[in-house]
Structure 1
Amino acid sequence: MPIPAVPVFPAAAPARRTLSRLIAACLAWAAVTWLARANLDGYHDMLENYAWSQPLRWGTHKHPPFFAWVVGLWFAVLPQNDLAYRLLSYTNVLVGLAGVWALGRRLRLGALAPWGALLLLWSLPYTNLAGKFNANSQLLSLWPWAAALLLASWQERGWRGAWASAWLGLVAAACMLSKYYSGVFLAGFLLPIWLHADGRRWLATPRPYLTLAVFGLALWPHLAWVASHDWAPLGYAMDQGGGQVSWRYVARFALAPLFYWLPAWLALCLTWAQVQARQSGAPWARTAARLLLRSWLPQGRGDVLFWLAFMPWALTLAFGMAGVVELSTPWALPIGYAFALLWLRNLQKLAPAAAEMTLQRLARAWWPVLALVLALGVVVAAANALRGAQSYYRPTQDAARAIVQGWQQRHPGQRLEWVGGDWAENAMLAFYAQPRLLTVPGLPDTELAQLSGMGAWQRRNGLLLCPLGPVVAAQAGTDCQRQAQDWLAARGQPARPHVLQAERQGWRFPRPQAWAYAVYDVDASVRP
């Protein structure tokens, strides 16, 4: 495939050295997010993932299931705690960066390929934002590999080409099974395929049709599940639109590439400009402005790298401006997988003489920057602890264990089989206290609960959980409590709550705060 080659400069760093930098950065960010945040996330996305992974199924009431499968398989091996979950988040990042590296190699970028991965670790989506593992961050690991496999399918012949094409179909299906938004990403492949001569020739071979066949077969069980469950995930996805254009959200998404990837972009372009200005004697400010602007530009109509980098952002904006969806800024997390490769390629063409010294300077800065990240993590953790941040002190793990122990004390010998109530915080019982406890949204006889595999709730012991918040501000009569009490009373079950308190303790929590939780038992032995 005649994608123009970039001269290899400087001598490519050993793969082992690059891999050690990537692994060290991912481990550092896992440690920093665990230390600084003390809970998984404020919206309980990560607990929701775990709830959907128990048991593994072909769909959920909101999203396709691939990222829940990843969570379930991860915790089939690792212990169920916050640090292990953070390690999953950044293992996902590491897999994605390996895909960026592979994409750079497929684009013939030589020594620039590993830097295309390394630079992304100076951007927000691959660092602090990646700490929350959910459907959006799952795409960080999948989109780069799909793009790399597309080029592999173009370039390889014989069995190697068939193998790459089959893998492309599987990875593309995994993208769709993680978030339907990936359809925009996959649609973005069409333009570079049509504009590049090799892409058009590829369409005349059996390889793309093998990809489509594997893609369809991999998606079929999920589509069958969705069709048999009233198209619930598709209904949730369609609810994200509504025909109205929110220009505020469109503007925020339009600026996301600059906001999310600004540190990496500035570090690369300004360092490159400084080196070039010193070599040429040109004014630094003028050189920097030129490189910053032209780092984003295409190199001709058939520039595969530019279209891979540009299309997810452009197509998403187009759908937002058409009112098809209301854009959410977190959707931008995976769109920049090829940005650093694009900047590196363009800057090398603009100022090749500055390349070697620029990359050497960036390499020397790597470990000091990582040390700064660790130091800032300690500072943020100390600030959260000393100012009494509620998100930091929320006693999720302690409360979960106390609630399960309370059930066992009230019902000796009876197994707790499900938990409903406040979704998805109620999944804390399964994650921290009783693995594989079935977690359902809301009340057990609702349609959403049945989608979660609830079955006949009358024959299964369970409870409804309603978090009340910090004791100093806890309120009785929340919506969750009213719904639980009305539901229980209508079915002849005791509607009196068991209210308990829990708080975080230990060296990380110098200002303990008590939080309250209302628990309603649903005893299968109680008949209306």
Structure 2
Amino acid sequence: MPVDFAFSAMAKRSDRSPASWRRPFNRWLEGVEAGWSVPLLLACFVGIWTVYLSVAYHGAGLHPDVLETWTYGRHFAWGYPKHPPLMGWTTGAWTAVFPLTDWSLQLMAMTNAALALWFVDLIARRFVTGHKRLIVLLLLMLTPAYQFHAQRFNANAVLLAVWPLATYCFLRAFETRAPFWAIAAGVAASLAMLGKYYSTFLIASFALSAIIHPSRRAYFTSSSPWISAAVGLIALFPHLHWLATTGAEPIHYAATHVGAGFPASLRDAVNFLLGLAAATSVSAVTWAMIAGYRIKRLPRDLAAADPNLKLIGHVAIGTIALPFITSLLLGTDLPSLWALQGLFLLAVPVVCSTRYRIERFYTVNAALLVAGIAIAAAVMAAPAHALYRNSYGYEEGRNVYHQAADKLTRLWHEQMGTPLSIVGGNDSLGVAVAFYSSDHPHYGDPFAYQYSLALSRQVTPERGWAALCFDDQHDCLEWTGRMAAHAGSYVKREFSVQSSLFGIPGIKRNLVAFLVAPLREPDDAPSSLVNDAGQGGGHVSPQTDPPLRAEPDVALPENQPPGNAPQTTDPGANMLVDHGAARLFVVLL
């Protein structure tokens, strides 16, 4: 291996007599144990990737998953449809402090990724010191998990920080068997479950890894695992009670991923492994360049590693093997992105088990590679991505979220003279209007075509509502038309919006809006219907009743079929409200 020996000789010479441009990097490596190198790395990571997101998605709205988490977080509850509540709590807490802007939630996503790397460093420092700790973080930064996966903050991305935190607390509880760490492990494990039920595989891996550890008797005969289990169940009890009393919607949603045949589940399971291999490929090649000929020592180093480091390696195997086996047995979907938050479980044992010195030459080169990719992404890839998407758009219509929200809000104010309180229709458009409209209306049942989050009692049909569908979404149009017709007289508007990037016109989308007037007495002034909750996007009380939804096949009068109810066609005309029909609709709800 002449090339490898050439690099080894170069690394030794560089460490003895570094080039002048390497000296600042060497000083940075020297500051790891002083406590400032890792925070500096993470601050730079957050800064440059937040810039990337701001540029790459300039002119487009946030991903619907991110807007969904904000919609959940508008009111505190022990559970939400589709997923457990942690992602909604996180976004709600963040937006209670930071403004409702794209950059704010992009910063939240990158801060979550940096927090995840900080927790990984807490684990790594249990086994190595100096710049080997940085190598762990740099290798993880070369995976897509902490930038591209993290930016779409949802039930998967929220686990990026929770899994390493839970692993660290479990490791400390196993090592010390102290009550404090046992309690912390239980709380962290419950947080993981409140993030996504997929975390069952992490917790099961903790238990299995502890069972095969040489110190298993000391651990299981102590109070530590039982304190952790009891505290975890107590912390989960409010959510479990919510599941039992509300129909367990997240369980039903998870069950929609079950039921594929064996060939399909086998294909998904194999693709799961291939996806993880692809996600770690750049890091694996980088590590091979760092280890060089010494990589052949890896099996021997792992065999001689600290038993607690082996514990983490066993947890890594469990979090890959258990979902693989479960997918085959139950016929479930198994995208590899569900497991990206666990990549640190592979990186920590591989790097921290090394029993040889790694030259600073390699760590500086890895840092330059990470920095080079980030800078190239922010300076070149991000503008190119923004230009491309401005012309070709996104399937979910993110390019026109801002314009659609502004247009619908203007139409509502022109027709009704009150703030928009409720928005319904298409899911992605509904959560987008809720976020980007200056009125911040609420989105959910019974006016949402697909969404199942119940509206608060404070947000009632008497305040009126608007709904929005893309013109090619015929199911949404038919269903929303029935809802509007059943409410009484309404306005239907068709309009086009166009994306724009620094004045460059982009893709056009056609939308259809339905506007149902607030219920008011003839002598009531419009100002009496101001929606205090909607004006500032304020938090509201959680809905305690089962969600209500008007069925799409509701019987309508023969002279008033869906889509042909009495409509006001003059944009400037005041809308007449059929008070009898509107009151009937309110009573039915």
* TM-score interval for Structure 1 and Structure 2 normalised by the shorter chain: 0.7 to 0.9
1:405 aligns with 2:425: no
Give me the whole-angstrom Cα distance separating, in 2, the residues matched to 1:386 and 1:55.
Answer: 33
Give me the whole-angstrom Cα distance separating, in 2, the residues matched to 1:272 and 1:20.
Answer: 26
Give me the whole-angstrom Cα distance separating, in 2, the residues matched to 1:162 and 1:25.
Answer: 35
Aligned counterpart for 2:444 among listed residues 434, 440, 448:
440
What is the CA-CA distance between 1:512 and the residue it aligns to?
Answer: 3.1
Paired letter, 1:305: I
1:47 is matched with which residue?
67
Give me the whole-angstrom Cα distance separating, in 2, the residues matched to 1:85 and 1:447.
Answer: 24
1:371 is matched with which residue?
375
* Alignment root-mean-square deviation, CA: 2.9
- Is 2:258–2:331's contact at 8 Å kept on the other side of the alignment? yes
1:185 aligns with 2:180: no
Partner of 1:137, secondary structure, is: coil
1:504 is matched with which residue?
499
What does 1:53-452 correspond to in 2, within 5 Å? Answer: 53-107=73-127, 111-156=131-176, 161-242=178-259, 244-245=261-262, 246=264, 247-273=266-292, 276=293, 290=296, 303-346=310-353, 348-349=354-355, 352-381=356-385, 383-384=387-388, 387-390=391-394, 394-412=399-417, 414-434=418-438, 437-440=441-444, 443=447, 449=452, 451-452=454-455
- Is 2:491–2:516's contact at 8 Å kept on the other side of the alignment? no
- Is 1:417–1:438's contact at 8 Å kept on the other side of the alignment? yes
What is the CA-CA distance between 1:186 and the residue it aligns to?
Answer: 0.9
- Is 1:250–1:321's contact at 8 Å kept on the other side of the alignment? yes
C-alpha change, 1:416 and 1:511, in structure 2 (3 Å) is closer
Give me the whole-angstrom Cα distance separating, in 2, the residues matched to 1:139 and 1:82.
Answer: 21
1:279 is matched with which residue?
none
Paired letter, 2:48: A
TM-score for both structures, normalised by structure 1: 0.84
What is the CA-CA distance between 1:357 and the residue it aligns to?
Answer: 3.9
Q: What CA deviation, in whole Å up to 9, does each residue of 1:95-146 have, x standing for no partner?
A: 1101100111234566433432232111111122211100001100100010
What is the CA-CA distance between 1:319 and the residue it aligns to?
Answer: 0.7
2:462 is matched with which residue?
459
What is the CA-CA distance between 1:418 and the residue it aligns to?
Answer: 1.6
Give me the whole-angstrom Cα distance separating, in 2, the residues matched to 1:50 and 1:70.
Answer: 9
Aligned counterpart for 1:519 among listed residues 509, 513, 535:
513
Q: What CA deviation, in whole Å up to 9, does each residue of 1:243-271 have, x standing for no partner?
A: 63322211110122211121122112223
Paired letter, 1:527: G
Paired letter, 2:70: Y
Q: What CA deviation, in whole Å up to 9, does each residue of 1:463-505 have, x standing for no partner?
A: 222133xxxxxx4x7211111112222x242354222333333
- Is 1:96–1:140's contact at 8 Å kept on the other side of the alignment? yes
Give me the whole-angstrom Cα distance separating, in 1, the residues matched to 2:457 and 2:332.
Answer: 31
- Is 2:433–2:440's contact at 8 Å kept on the other side of the alignment? no
Which segments of 5 or more consecutive residues in structure 1 lack a partner in the other structure? 1-8, 277-286, 469-474
Give me the whole-angstrom Cα distance separating, in 2, the residues matched to 1:40 and 1:174.
Answer: 29
Give me the whole-angstrom Cα distance separating, in 2, the residues matched to 1:16 and 1:300.
Answer: 28
Give me the whole-angstrom Cα distance separating, in 1, the residues matched to 2:398 and 2:443.
Answer: 24
Which segments of 5 or more consecutive residues in structure 2 lack a partner in the other structure? 1-25, 520-578, 582-589
Q: What CA deviation, in whole Å up to 9, does each residue of 1:26-82 have, x standing for no partner?
A: 22112112211333555x111111111122211122111111110111111111111
Paired letter, 1:521: L
Paired letter, 2:65: D
1:483 is matched with which residue?
479
